[in-house]
Structure formats: C-alpha cells, structure tokens
Amino acid sequence: MRDNLTPREIVSELDKYIIGQSDAKRMVAIAMRNRWRRNRIEPVLRDEIAPKNILMIGPTGVGKTEIARRLATLSGSPFSKVEATKFTEVGYVGRDVESMIRDLMEIGVNLVRNEEMERVKVRAEKSAEERLLDLLLPPSPSRFAAGEAIAMPAAGSDASMGGGDPGSTREKLRMLWRKGELDERRVKMEVTMASPTMEIMAMPGMEEIGSQFKDMFSKAFPQKKKTRDLRVKDAYDILLQEESDRLVDMDKVTEQAKERVEQSGIIFIDELDKICGKQGGSGVDVSREGVQRDLLPVVEGCVVNTKYGMVKTDHILFIAAGAFHLSKPSDLVPELQGRFPLRVELSALDKKDFYRILTEPKNALTVQYRALLETEGVTVEFTDGALLEVAAFAQRINEETENIGARRLYTIMEKILSDLSFEASDKSGQKVIVDEAYVREQLSDVAEDRDLSRYIL
Ligand SMILES: Nc1ncnc2c1ncn2[C@@H]1O[C@H](COP(=O)(O)OP(=O)(O)OP(=O)(O)O)[C@@H](O)[C@H]1O
Ligand SMILES: [Mg+2]
C-alpha cells in the first residue's frame, strides 16, 4: 500500500501475479505514477493536468480484470471496479452511472477511516481495557472519597505493564485479562442498540436513497441502550469499537477522503464493450447508448452529489476494459472514444504463457492445489512434463472450441485433480506425483472426444 511506487516497481509487483501483457502493465504503471507526479506540481498547473484515461482491449481471460484487481491492492488510492453492464440510463429503473462515484467515495471514506483507526489503535485499546476493568470491578465510591485517582490516569504511567499498584485487585484482573484468562467469563454491559430498524422499501436503484434515509433517522432518534450479558472478549470488542469511533473525527475523515477521491481516485470500468450496441440496433441498444452518454460527463469531469457532499470527478482516473470481439471501440459513441485516449491491447495467451501461469504467479493454481491437499496430509508434486502437457492441452482446446484464455486452465486442472481431490481424505501421509502420464490418463476421455470436451472443459 504505497503511492510512491515507481513505474518499474509497479510493473514488477504486477509481474508477481500476471504473466506477460507488459504493454498494459506499463501503461497502468505510468498512469499511476502520473497521479503522484501531478500531486507535486504547483496548484495552478496541477488543476490543468487531467488524467489520461486508458482503454484495455483484449480477448476474454487474458488478465484485464486481474491487472485492475492487483492494481487496486497496490495503490493506496481509493479504487473501485464496476461493470458497465450494471448501469442503466438515467430515468430508467436501475443504478445510474453516478453511483460509481458515490461508491468510490464510500470506499475512500472507509480507507481513510481505517487509517485513522490504525493511528488511534493504541489509545483506543488502552481506554477500552480501562472500561472493561471498570465493568469487571466497578470502582468503589470510597476510593473517590479518599481522593485516590481511579485507575485511568495510573494506566498512563506504564502502558505495557499496566500501572498502578501491582498488588491491587484491578491490576491482578488486568494481568489475567491480558493473558486471555478472562475471555470466556461473562459480564453485563450496556450496549447501544441499532436504531429502530426502518425497512425502507428497497426498490431497485433506490438503495442509495434508502441508506440516506436510514442515516437521517439514526441521527434523529435517540439511540436505545440495553443491558446485555456478554462474553468478556465480545464486550471488549464492542468497547474497542466504541473507543475507536470516539477517537476518530469523522468530519476530518470525510474531508480527507473527499480530497483523496478527487485527486487520486481510480475507477475501473469493466465490460465496456458490452454497452456498445451495434448501430441500428433495437430498443435495448438505445438504452445502452444512453448509458454511454451518461458516462460522458462523469468521465469528462462533473460534480456528483454524494452523502458526503459534492465530489468533483475531473481528476479521477478511469480505466476501461473490454474484449471488444463483437464490437469495436469505434462502435462506442464518438465522444466516449475520445475520453479514453490511451489504448492498449492485451495479447492472447499461448501454451508458453499457460505454462508460466501455472507455475510462476504467487497464487498459481499449482500452489493453490498443493496447499489445499496439504491440509489432508497429501503431498502433491507436479512434474514439468505434466504442466507442459496441461498447457499444450489448454491451448489445443482453446483453439478447437472457444478461446477462453487462462480460464481454461481452471477447468482442466480441476478435471485432472478431481479423483485426487475426492480421495485425498483417505490418502493422508501419501505423496502423489502428477506427471505427464497421470495428466494424459485423466484427460484421455475428453482428449479423444471433441464434443465431450465442449461440455466438460
Ligand atoms: N496473463 C495472466 N497471468 C496470470 N493469470 C492470468 C492471466 N490472464 C488471466 N489469468 C487468470 O485467468 C483468470 C481470468 O482472467 P481475467 O479475469 O483477468 O480475464 P479478463 O481479461 O478480465 O476477461 P473478460 O474479458 O472475460 O473479463 C484470472 O483469474 C487469472 O488468474
Ligand atoms: Mg474481466
């Protein structure tokens, strides 16, 4: 989670998960770095520099969405991924395109709030612990009378060991609690009940309004309190939450989040090709074109009203992706084409790529299967020959039936390992070597029968 990664570093992070597609990686890396560069320019010029939106074009299953997903975890910036097909034209029932800005703002607020929570964590934990001890051992009034400070200030003296008189009951309790010995004990505590549940009729597309209403009502009604009997551990979690909420200034969070969203937000619009109707189409296409037109102002820069206030979209970076095999980018309404000046094509994957995808990424399928079977005490090993065979087979099936890219590997691997997955529980302690012959054997039925492979793989 760093926003100061250089393009080279971004690419090498992406390389850990995505094979090939270096052009696309370079382009998103540059776009991300440009946000960082822009932020160090004097304000007057900074406002003039608009992000260059990217359009990723490529067949299905070659890593478009994967790149976006990995980018999301890499960048400390608010990032959201939406499917263009989820939206409907303004005026029709459904989600309007502006909701993606509201979602991004929501993400931004969560991001900043979590950072703030992290910052106040130590303080929150300390006061939650004190409150817990107050519950377990209510401070006696006589101590007040004697002018003895209740444990609160004492705790400040030595946070790690707990201050105060180590012999006192309170300190003994503290030690027990820290050792986890009180976790299962029960304690009575006053908890705030969720505000009167008001089910606003959730009409499709109206969720937004619904949640705004709920927010309003929860502020208008006094919150109800109720005494509940809780496990000490759960009580502590509630106290910690309350203390964190108390220490985090939500107004500041909102303000910062807005700044972050406006200046460094990234929205990934997937499946853009699916809202691109061929010319002269029927009614459905008209509505799709409507979505495209609604997208224009958002991508170009406008102001969207969210529950956290107005958000300007001028500097939000948009990355769109689509397979574009039934339609072409030129089928998009012309204005929208112009909003995505950077185009990058992702290449189809072949068996060399498949082999690498099976072995290199940190989350490679072979790694996943090995870990899964490990839990049963079964050690699997894949020989190179086996994986080359899988890769070659994947390419062949992709050519013969439909090209679904790397997704083909999932179906093939699942087929190869299905017997083993079923029997693994009985094979604890064994070592299984998956070699070329094993792969051939498992795939023999589908390899011979093309029609069968259509169904199974
Ligand atoms: N180049 C690649 N390197 C590693 N894994 C890949 C690559 N391409 C695809 N994959 C794997 O295949 C799966 C599908 O890829 P992804 O979701 O990125 O496809 P896509 O290009 O978005 O396709 P679609 O057009 O259908 O949305 C991913 O889960 C990913 O693990
Ligand atoms: Mg995708």
Closest ligand 1 atom to Cα of 67:
18
Give 139 or 433, the one with higher predicted confidence.
Answer: 433
- Check: CB of residue 10 under 8 Å from CB of residue 34: no
How confident is the model at residue 145, as a pLDDT?
46
36: Cβ contacts below 8 Å, ≥ 6 apart: 3, 4
- Determine which of 152-161, 300-309, 439-448 has the lowest per-residue pLDDT on average: 152-161
- Determine which of 208-212, 416-420, 434-438 has the lowest per-residue pLDDT on average: 208-212
CA of 299 to the centre of ligand 2 (A): 20
How confident is the model at residue 153, as a pLDDT?
43
When the pLDDT of each residue in the chain is averaged and rounded to a whole number, the result is: 84
CA of 338 to the centre of ligand 1 (A): 27
Query: Each residue of 360-370: pLDDT tens digit?
Result: 999 999 999 99
Reported confidence tier of residue 335, pLDDT bands at 50, 70, 90: confident
Reported confidence tier of residue 109, pLDDT bands at 50, 70, 90: very high
Instruction: Name the residue of 11, 65, 398 to mutate for ligand 1: max ligand atoms within 8 A of Cβ.
Output: 65
d(CA 150, CA 144): 7
* Signed CA dihedral, 422, 427, 428, 431: sign only: negative
How confident is the model at residue 278, as a pLDDT?
56
The distance from CA 143 to its chain's CA centroid, rounded to whole angstroms, is 50
How confident is the model at residue 195, as a pLDDT?
56
Residue among 370, 273, 380 at smallest CA distance from 330? 273
- Check: CB of residue 378 under 8 Å from CB of residue 424: yes
- Check: CB of residue 48 under 8 Å from CB of residue 331: no
The residue count of the chain comes to 457
- Check: CB of residue 383 under 8 Å from CB of residue 434: yes
Residue with tokens 């409907």: 88
Task: Name residue 101's beta-bridge partners.
Answer: none
The distance from CA 51 to its chain's CA centroid, rounded to whole angstroms, is 23
How confident is the model at residue 201, as a pLDDT?
53
Give 279 or 254, the one with higher predicted confidence.
Answer: 254
Q: Collect residues with CB below 5 Å from ion ligand 2.
A: 65
Closest ligand 1 atom to Cα of 21:
1
Tell me the percentage of the chain whose pLDDT exceeds 70: 84
Q: Give DSSP secondary structure letters for 117-130.
A: HHHHHHHHHHHHHH
In the chain, CATH 1.10.8.60 covers: 351-456
CA of 59 to the centre of ligand 1 (A): 10
Residue among 240, 246, 245, 244 at smallest CA distance from 177? 240
Reported confidence tier of residue 200, pLDDT bands at 50, 70, 90: low
Average pLDDT over residues 29-41: 89
Give the other-Cβ count within 10 Å of 256's Cβ. 18
How confident is the model at residue 196, as a pLDDT?
55
How confident is the model at residue 207, as a pLDDT?
57
Q: Is the pLDDT of residue 320 over 90?
A: yes
Reported confidence tier of residue 203, pLDDT bands at 50, 70, 90: low
d(CA 66, CA 53): 18
Closest ligand 1 atom to Cα of 270:
27
Residues contacting ligand 1 via CB (< 6 Å): 18-21, 58, 60-66, 323, 357, 361, 405-407
User: Phi and psi of 220, rounded to 5°?
Assistant: -75, -35
Average pLDDT over residues 250-279: 87
Reported confidence tier of residue 181, pLDDT bands at 50, 70, 90: confident
d(CA 235, CA 233): 5
Average pLDDT over residues 14-25: 94
Query: Each residue of 213-252: pLDDT tens digit?
Result: 666 666 666 677 888 888 999 999 999 999 999 999 999 9
Average pLDDT over residues 314-341: 88
How confident is the model at residue 280, as a pLDDT?
46
How confident is the model at residue 156, as a pLDDT?
40
CATH 1.10.8.60 assigned to 351-456: yes
Instruction: Name the residue of 276, 407, 410, 414 to mutate for ligand 1: max ligand atoms within 8 A of Cβ.
Output: 407
Cα–Cα distances in Å, from 372 out to 100, 230, 369, 386? 36, 36, 5, 19
Burial 9-42 (b: 16+ CB within 10 A, else e): ebbebbbebbbbbeebbbbbbbbbbebbebeeee
Q: Give DSSP secondary structure letters for 190-204.
A: EEEPPP--------T
The DSSP letter of residue 327 is: S
Cα–Cα distances in Å, from 117 out to 114, 194, 232, 277, 318? 5, 21, 22, 46, 29
Query: Each residue of 139-173: pLDDT tens digit?
Result: 766 554 444 444 444 444 444 444 557 678 888 88
Reported confidence tier of residue 353, pLDDT bands at 50, 70, 90: very high
Query: Each residue of 72-104: pLDDT tens digit?
Result: 788 778 999 998 888 877 777 778 889 999 999
In the chain, CATH 3.40.50.300 covers: 7-107+255-345
d(CA 149, CA 48): 59
175: Cβ contacts below 8 Å, ≥ 6 apart: 162
CA of 261 to the centre of ligand 1 (A): 27
Instruction: Name the residue of 16, 62, 326 to mutate for ligand 1: max ligand atoms within 8 A of Cβ.
Output: 62
Reported confidence tier of residue 323, pLDDT bands at 50, 70, 90: confident
Q: Do the strands 54-57 and 309-312 form a parallel or antiparallel pair, or are they unpaired?
A: unpaired
Q: Domain spanning 7-107+255-345 has what CATH number?
A: 3.40.50.300
